[in-house]
Amino acid sequence: MTTEVTSPELLTLEELTNRVGMSVRNVRFYTTKGLVPPPIRRGRSGYYSPDHVARLELVQELQSHGFTLSAIERYVAGIPADATPEDIALRRTMLAPWQADQPVEMSRGDLEKRVDRRLSDQDVDILAALGIVTSIGAERYQVAASQLSIGLGLLDVGFPLEAARAAAEVYTQHGREIAQELYDVFRKMVWPVYQESGASPETIQAVVERLKPLSIASLVSAYEAGMDQTRRENIAARAKRSGDRR
């Protein structure tokens, strides 16, 4: 009788479930869905690597943020096949919410009580386009409560729905670009430094948490500077056109 020799990094199914706090049934379900690769075969036994651990922990993180199974599948499909466990762990770290206030779940009635007014469907659509409320089905919403007063002020001055939707598209497009660029900075310039020093994932998480307010403040400053520059350029262009007509 021979004894199978495995890498110290490989885990049995039982060790994996204990490590990530997930049932055997769920591990197998996520494997069939392609969210994690099949176990590594050693004879008749299956083993799991740090890649399996990282991907299962990512699935758990996505679930904690309210991602549906189909949304998780789309997210995981975008991860390169050759991504290392460290790359996946960094993605999980970057998923932590960047807003200071967590959204509050409310019914339509709760929302109207909170703002002390009736909201038309268009009002809700505008608030949704502005990113202040997010429908989670059955007249229930995730609400950025700290932003409600700003949204109500825009409703009071008749902010157009189409403008809110167009602005949301701009925010979404450029937000994704900024997020990808910041992720690349972390992956190429931050993560390797801490990895070489033997820093724990908790240390990386702490770094991200401390950078959040600075990053947000920097984005706001860049936005304000850009708006000022755009306004000056537009004023100069109008003045030039006016002068040319004379």
pLDDT tens for 73-101 read 988 888 888 888 888 887 887 776 655 56
Residue 189 lies in a domain: no
Q: What is the mean pLDDT of the chain?
A: 84
- Please tell me whether residues 70 and 28 are part of one structural domain: yes
Question: Of the candidates 143, 172, 201, which is a domain's last residue?
Answer: 172
- Please tell me whether residues 84 and 20 are part of one structural domain: yes
- Please tell me whether residues 62 and 103 are part of one structural domain: no
Q: What is the pLDDT of residue 175?
A: 80
Q: Which residue has the higher pLDDT, 35 or 190?
A: 35
- Please tell me whether residues 54 and 84 are part of one structural domain: yes
- The range of the structural domain enclosing residue 222 comes to 211-240
Residue 193 lies in a domain: no
Q: Which residue has the higher pLDDT, 240 or 38?
A: 38
- Please tell me whether residues 27 and 65 are part of one structural domain: yes
Residue 224 lies in a domain: yes
Q: What is the pLDDT of residue 170?
A: 87
Residue 199 lies in a domain: no
Contact 48, 16 (CB under 8 A): yes
- Please tell me whether residues 76 and 105 are part of one structural domain: no
pLDDT at 26 over 90: yes
What digits encode the pLDDT tens for the residues 153-212? 999 999 999 999 998 888 888 887 887 888 788 878 887 888 788 777 677 777 777 777
- Please tell me whether residues 78 and 126 are part of one structural domain: no
d(C-alpha 125, C-alpha 123), whole Å:
5
